[in-house]
Structure 1
Amino acid sequence: MSFSRLSEHKVPSAPQTNPLHLALANRVIEYARTQRLPAGHHLTEQSLEQVLGASRSPIRGALAFLAEQGLVETRPPKRGLFLAYDGSELAALEETLPTSDEDQAYLALARDRLDGCLPDVLSEIEAMRRYNLTRERMRRVLTRAANEGWIEQRTSKGWAFLPMIDGPQSCAQSYDLRIVLEPSALQMESFELDLTLLDRMRAEQQELVDGGYETATHAQMVQANANFHEGLARLSGNRFVEQTVMRHNQLRSLLEYRETAADRDRVRRQCVEHLAILDCLASGDRVAAAALLKQHLEKARAGKIAQLSKAARERALASHGQQAHTKNQRNGTNADIGVCE
């Protein structure tokens, strides 16, 4: 990933874009990111029809929008459209794309659930009312959340939220699993060193250490971290390890919606630790690499839990203060306290 190259990319405004085309365009970018599609990957309407669960006409509109943004391109004499960037690079450009009402509702749904503002089971009617969307559009938002693995449709009415990394306790449990799984994966019999992947991981981490950490966007730094850990999981040669690490990265990304700024010095220190792990793997010392990875995850666990605990206390104080203020303003009425609205 070249952070300087991405920073030069300017996404033109698109005020007349069809909301459905815009929502599907964002999902195409998300698909390219999660599947790590390379630059030059051929995007066909037929393949995206199966992935997005949409008909070809709106998919065609979404691809046309992405072509206008310079994110997909033609490559004569070949026919069709091709990715202009690697999937990991496109992930850093997601935040520069215009967002549709559905994207905003998706983010609001995640924030509201993380902040404890939603019940364990949410009806479509309640969701439609809360996020001001039609049934069809709200269902697309809920289906997207289901695909990300943090909500599921019940056989009866409603959508049930699944366990999420939504606070200090669940974050600790997630790290506890990763501390057991990720270092062990480096010592599996199925482990195979892919020098091309290793060089790509090293280049991305080194660029951040060499100054990229000062200018990279929050999304770029989050994605670079995910690329590192998912890359190690891929080297294990065990697809279940890779799927588990990817799943936890998806759930961890929901917490990023709360963050307004990144600790850039911490990001640089973590990248230095990443490089040390890669050096051990390159030299063939998987035992040392596993030990360094375990230490790295333990440090990250302590720092993240402290951060989340502090944030939880601050939200509790803010909520208490708002409730007290609302109570004082009631003047004898029975108005509801809409803390999370």
Structure 2
Amino acid sequence: MAPKTAAQPPSRLQSELARRILQMLKAQNAPAGHRLVELDLCAAFNVSRTPIRGALQLLAAEGVISPREGRGYVLAKAVQDIPEVASGEDEEDTALFAAMADARARGKLPDQFTQQELVRRFDARLPSVMRVLRLLAELGLVERRPGNGWGFIADSARVLSESYAFRRALEPQMLLQPGFKLDRTWSDKTRAVHEKLRRKPWRPGDGADFHAINADFHEQLARCSGNRAMLKAAQQQNQLRDFLSGQWDYPMDQVHGAIDDHLEILAALEAGYADKAAALMLHHLTTSASQSQKDQPGTTA
């Protein structure tokens, strides 16, 4: 018997097709059990069956779809409950984004730089550098200068202040949208995560761990709003904060205060008091904005 060989990683085309298939299903708001037909996908993306099969196998390995005997694949759950599948390029860009954020926080990334300098400094490919720079430009952090030059637009204190002003207008309104529907499964899960961190003995690094919990809290409430423009805006604000303060270890008192605020907002939403939840959100963001002016580089809202 021939020895087994290690499974080959998916090709870039397969990863990209998997991501595009999922995007298409999300646009269709496909329900659990929705059948995926190879020939239809081949026609939709103008490719042969081989890369489509590879993409479907990748989605199956991620738990997005399930095989059905004689029927190919079906969606394992409602498409709105499925996170995006990262492509190889996504992972490359995420790593570069994090490296640039860390370098900027440590004062190692100057106000002015060129694309080629980033390629050399971070051992990155030029296409990835350009994608990350375009993202940072969309977030209002950098702008293009003459030639291949780029530069940061403003200091982090000003950017965070402007971000909080925008979020105070956005996030309370998310909770008042006519289509707002609290995801009870998520709210139960996030409450348990918040309460666990609130109870545990404090250790160095716990403040940094809260960054992901905090980002998920605000983004999921935006998703519950049913307003896609608000969700996109909330996601962009999370990306902005990832760059400015993702490496910061928040102090215990700020984390505990933010946890208490989050739990109070959840309780109001679960009780059906959207107006109260919106008022609590506004107070939460206002308090955090005031705190951020004292405690650069990070914030906890």
Normalized against structure 1, the TM-score is what?
Answer: 0.56
Name which of 56, 69, 72 aligns with 1:79.
72
Residue 128 (str. 1) matches residue 119 (str. 2): yes
Paired position in structure 1 for 2:131: 143
Paired position in structure 2 for 1:175: 164
Name which of 218, 221, 225 aligns with 2:214.
225
Aligned ranges 1:245-284 → 2 under 5 Å: 245-259=234-248, 261-263=249-251, 266-284=254-272
Aligned ranges 1:317-328 → 2 under 5 Å: none
Residue 204 (str. 1) matches residue 189 (str. 2): yes
- The amino acid of 2:196's aligned partner reads G
- In the TM superposition, residue 122 of structure 1 has moved relative to its aligned partner by 3.8
In structure 2, what is the Cα distance between the partners aligned to 1:100 and 1:285?
A: 40
Residue 291 (str. 1) matches residue 268 (str. 2): no
Paired position in structure 2 for 1:240: 229
Paired position in structure 2 for 1:108: 99
- Alignment check: 8 A CA contact 1:105 1:141 kept: yes
- In the TM superposition, residue 118 of structure 1 has moved relative to its aligned partner by 4.0
- In the TM superposition, residue 155 of structure 1 has moved relative to its aligned partner by 9.9
- In the TM superposition, residue 143 of structure 1 has moved relative to its aligned partner by 0.9
Identity %, equivalent residues? 26
Partner of 2:72, secondary structure, is coil
Task: Tell me whether 263-272 or 82-91 shows the greater mean CA deviation.
Answer: 82-91
- Show CA shifts across 1:196-233 (max 9, x none): x3413421332124325549987864343223323433
- Alignment check: 8 A CA contact 1:277 1:289 kept: yes
- Show CA shifts across 1:105-162 (max 9, x none): 43222333445544556433222222234xxx23224314524634789597426456
- Alignment check: 8 A CA contact 1:63 1:72 kept: no
- Show CA shifts across 1:67-116 (max 9, x none): 77x6667433463597899999979xx9xxxx977654432223334455
- Alignment check: 8 A CA contact 2:66 2:75 kept: yes
Query: CA-atom RMSD, angstroms?
Result: 5.4
Structure 1: gaps of 5 or more residues: 1-13, 51-55, 312-341
In structure 2, what is the Cα distance between the partners aligned to 1:79 and 1:271?
A: 45
- In the TM superposition, residue 182 of structure 1 has moved relative to its aligned partner by 2.2
- Show CA shifts across 1:227-248 (max 9, x none): 3323433455544333322211
Distance 1:307 1:101, change over 3 A: same
